[in-house]
């Protein structure tokens, strides 16, 4: 894993020094080396920059930018099947001078052009400059594991792994994109393709960008879409066959992600996802797998004991570390540097801590993210389906009275129904949903279980009442009815929460300590396979991850695994009301908000007042506002 940056400047106001600054701000992503290539053409300037974290082929020969004939590349990620592709290319007459996957991409481009991407199994974001064609091509992997931002304004095109790179260019115009800010307050993260800045965007997963330098314009192309997988006919298969085939795919994906010239470990929480990855890998090798877990002294947030039991049972070389409150709290001031786009998921704190622990022993760590989105692990799926079933049976004449009764219901009941602590805030939305006709479970998932705050609540906070931007939450109708309502929700979560929350968190936390994270469950072959499995093999009654459970129980006793699902978090709201109250009050003061005027001060004051009173309904919104304020102080002041 590395950091990449680059530019196209038709104003010709860039320089090798500017390119170097745009690249070196990403040094945490690649501390092992750096490289720059600057082209000063008559009509434009073009630059490619790279920060290297050495994983495969540690020699200087594999340094970047890498050049082959008229092709130049900066690459971030891994192509796990590069040796098979290399062997195929060698039979076609290609010869290689390194053992790196980067060189394979260059030769694959010469052989197959953009179509090469269909052959790749991996995670990647890269830019390839074809000097002969005068075109720049930028690719992002199918799941969006690797980040890719770009900026295009006033004759200046910039790209990078992280937004902080753009701040190093004097031509970059910093202007808050109001629709993105609205998404941050509504969901806790900003959905692709939007970015916090105007004229900036995230390249969507499964897409590539082709920039024609002669025409001074670019086009976006889709080469893979999870919706296509869910559109295919369901597989007619027995449960036993499905379990066997899924296990084979998972094992293969895990083994591919062990390819490395540096030490590799696994994050182990003791839950089904990480246990599956650990069990499949440990069962296929004699050497003890290195596994890592962090624990907390607060029992409500501690899974370390479960992870240790699983590790002992599987026989891994396990390391656990109990973090102090002080260590966790010290992460908060650093969040705005590594999350250089405002980010509201507080579990980035423990994710950073476990990354620090792993980095002491390994350079690469496998993470079991996306199990919930692939195998239907979240409680919101049965909740949305159940709520939809109940309101669908309700006669039209009874909907308004039922809505009124719901508004008067106790908060405790609503917490149970919605699975979310913001019960009073959810109450009004649940009541409104009762009145709507033609509602789908995916609508309920979005409006009740994914949006933390409604359109009305967010609009009241912002001084500029921007309309809610469209997103993939609105795209469920692109799937046919026979895709199934559960699959519709899984596909939407794959395109939204997984990409722009979960994967952002893991990337930024790992890269903050120069640790490469790999995601075996996001192998596109697994995604395409599970999308076609019958829904009952994912959610069987109220049992989530049904097929994954059956696989894990082959290696770990059911009695050791079955327990209530525990979130990966820290008691951040307790800290902010107590030890860190002074810190929160400093950044959430009226003076701090007045510096930019983006929010309705009266509404912000109300949020603060209710939060410090102990009203849990305002926990998330308070945190989102605080994260924005910390970010603004770092990048805008």
Active-site amino acid positions:
2
DSSP bridge partners of 123: 78
Name the residue among 620, 587, 567, 25 with its Cα closest to residue 338.
Answer: 25
Q: How many CA atoms lie within 13 A of 457 on its CB side?
A: 23
Q: Is 407 within 8 Å of 434 (Cβ atoms)?
A: no
Grouping H, G, I as helix, E, B as strand and the rest as coil, residue 519 is coil
Cα 49 to Cα 64: distance, rounded to the nearest angstrom: 8
Q: How many CA atoms lie within 13 A of 572 on its CB side?
A: 25
Provide the 8-state DSSP code for 471: -
Residue-by-residue DSSP string for 371-440:
HHHHHT--THHHHHHHHHHHHHTS-HHHHHHHHHHHHTS-HHHHHHHHS-S-HHHHHHHHHHHHH-SS--
**200-202, strands of its sheet edge to edge:** 33-40, 45-52, 3-9, 156-160, 149-153, 200-202
Question: Which stretches within 191-300 are classed as H helix?
Answer: 226-231, 239-256, 272-282
Phi, psi of 130 (to 5 degrees): -100, 100
Phi, psi of 374 (to 5 degrees): -95, -45
Element (H, E) at 521: none
Q: Is 447 within 8 Å of 384 (Cβ atoms)?
A: no
Grouping H, G, I as helix, E, B as strand and the rest as coil, residue 179 is helix
**Beta-strand relationship, 200-202 and 149-153:** antiparallel
């Amino acid at each position: 894993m590395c950091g990449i940056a680059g530019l196209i400047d038709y104003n010709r106001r860039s320089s090798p020094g500017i390119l170097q600054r745009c690249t070196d701000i990403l040094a945490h992503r690649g501390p092992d080396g750096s490289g720059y290539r600057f082209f000063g053409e008559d009509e434009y300037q073009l630059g490619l920059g790279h920060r290297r974290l050495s994983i495969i082929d540690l020699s200087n020969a594999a340094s970047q930018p890498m050049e082959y004939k008229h092709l130049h590349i900066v690459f971030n990620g891994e192509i796990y099947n590069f040796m098979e592709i290399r062997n195929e290319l060698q039979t076609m007459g290609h010869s290689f001078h390194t053992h790196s996957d980067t060189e394979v991409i260059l030769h694959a481009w010469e052989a197959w052009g953009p179509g090469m991407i269909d052959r790749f199994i991996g995670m990647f974001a890269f830019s390839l400059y074809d000097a002969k064609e005068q075109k720049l091509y930028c690719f992002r992997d199918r799941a969006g594991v690797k980040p890719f931002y770009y900026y295009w304004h006033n004759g200046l095109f910039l790209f990078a792994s992280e937004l902080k790179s753009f701040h190093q260019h004097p031509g970059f115009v910093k202007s808050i994109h109001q629709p993105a800010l609205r998404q941050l307050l509504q969901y806790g993260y900003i959905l692709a393709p939007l970015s916090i800045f105007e004229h900036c965007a995230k390249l969507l997963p499964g897409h590539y960008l082709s920039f024609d330098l002669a025409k001074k314009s670019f086009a976006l192309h889709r080469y893979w879409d999870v919706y296509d997988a869910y559109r295919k006919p369901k597989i007619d298969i027995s449960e036993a066959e499905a379990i066997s085939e899924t296990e084979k795919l998972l094992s293969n994906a895990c083994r591919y992600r062990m390819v490395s010239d540096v030490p590799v470990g696994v994050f182990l929480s003791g839950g089904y996802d990480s246990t599956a990855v650990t069990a499949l890998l440990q069962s296929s090798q004699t050497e003890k797998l290195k596994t890592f877990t962090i624990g907390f002294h607060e029992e409500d947030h501690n899974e370390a004991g479960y992870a240790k039991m699983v590790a002992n049972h599987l026989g891994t070389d396990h390391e656990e570390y109990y973090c102090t409150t002080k260590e966790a709290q010290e992460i908060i001031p650093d969040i705005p540097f590594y999350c250089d786009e405002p980010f509201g998921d507080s579990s980035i704190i423990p994710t950073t801590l476990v990354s620090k622990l792993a980095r002491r022993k390994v350079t690469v760590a496998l993470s079991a993210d996306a199990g919930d989105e692939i195998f239907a692990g979240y409680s919101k799926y049965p909740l949305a389906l159940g709520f939809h079933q109940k309101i669908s049976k309700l006669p039209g004449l009874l909907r308004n009275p039922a809505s009124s009764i719901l508004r008067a219901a106790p908060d405790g009941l609503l917490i149970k129904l919605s699975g979310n602590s913001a019960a009073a805030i959810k109450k009004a939305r649940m009541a409104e949903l009762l009145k709507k006709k033609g509602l789908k479970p995916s609508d309920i998932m979005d409006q009740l279980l994914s949006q933390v705050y409604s359109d009305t609540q967010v609009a009241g906070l912002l001084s500029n009442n921007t309309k809610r931007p469209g997103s993939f939450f609105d795209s469920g109708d692109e799937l046919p009815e026979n895709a199934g309502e559960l699959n519709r929700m899984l596909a939407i979560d794959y395109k939204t929460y997984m990409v722009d929350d979960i994967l952002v968190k893991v990337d930024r936390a790992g890269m903050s300590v120069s640790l490469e994270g790999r995601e075996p469950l996001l192998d596109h072959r697994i995604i395409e396979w599970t999308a076609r499995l019958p829904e009952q093999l994912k959610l069987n009654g109220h049992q989530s991850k049904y097929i994954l459970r059956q696989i894990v129980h082959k290696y770990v006793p059911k009695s050791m695994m079955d327990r209530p699902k525990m979130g990966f978090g820290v008691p951040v709201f307790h800290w902010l009301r107590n030890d860190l109250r002074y810190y929160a009050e400093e950044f959430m003061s009226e003076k701090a908000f007045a510096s930019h005027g983006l929010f309705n001060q009266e509404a912000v004051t109300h949020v603060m007042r209710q939060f410090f009173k102990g009203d849990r309904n305002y926990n998330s919104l308070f945190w989102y506002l605080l994260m924005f304020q910390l970010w603004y102080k770092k990048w805008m002041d």
